[in-house]
């Protein structure tokens, strides 16, 4: 994992996160206007969230998940230090000092402490 400093606050949306499992059938809706790589995804239970469109076998309608995904976002504050694990569609899966994990947008990351180049 890489360590990084947070440039700006990020607060998750006020809706429960959903988890998508590989092979799961979902319904895909509209693309996000701010994050066009994400599509509104509704699971079999009727819960929805934004998921990268690249994780599905088609662009809209009924689709099958090609990988697992958790829509949980991590609340971070400017100046905070986090560990970065995985990047996907302009977001990083991060862990804060308390051990909480979730996605944060790349644009709120000021620097990576072991970044070269």
Q: What was the pLDDT predicted at 113?
A: 54
Q: Count CB neighbours of 50 within 10 A.
A: 23
Residues 81 and 63 in one domain: no
What does the pLDDT look like over 30-45, one tens digit per residue?
999 999 999 999 999 9
How far is Cα 92 from Cα 87, in angstroms, rounded to an integer?
A: 4
Is residue 95 predicted with pLDDT exceeding 90?
yes
Left, alpha or beta for 44 (phi > 0: left; psi -120 to 50: alpha)?
Answer: alpha
Is residue 114 predicted with pLDDT exceeding 90?
no
Instruction: Let me know if residue 117 belongs to a domain.
Output: no
Residues 61 and 89 in one domain: no
Q: What is the mean pLDDT of residues 67-87?
A: 97
Q: Count CB neighbours of 80 within 10 A.
A: 19
Find, among 96, 116, 91, the residue nearest to 32 by Cα. 91
> Can you give the residue range of the structural domain that contains 92?
2-12+72-112
Predicted TM-score (pTM) of the model is 0.89
Q: Which domain CATH number covers 79?
A: 2.30.30.40
């Amino acid at each position: 994992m890489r360590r990084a400093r947070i440039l700006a606050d990020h607060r998750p949306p006020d809706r429960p996160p959903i988890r998508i499992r590989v092979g799961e059938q979902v319904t895909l809706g509209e693309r996000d206007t701010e994050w066009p790589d994400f599509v509104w995804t509704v699971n079999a239970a009727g819960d929805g969230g934004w998921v990268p469109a690249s994780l599905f076998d088609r662009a809209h309608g009924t689709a099958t998940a090609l990988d697992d995904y958790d829509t949980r976002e991590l609340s971070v504050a400017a100046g905070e230090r986090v560990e970065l694990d995985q990047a996907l569609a302009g977001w990083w899966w991060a862990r804060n000092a308390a051990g909480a994990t979730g996605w944060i947008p790349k644009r709120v990351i000021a620097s990576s402490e072991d970044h070269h180049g």
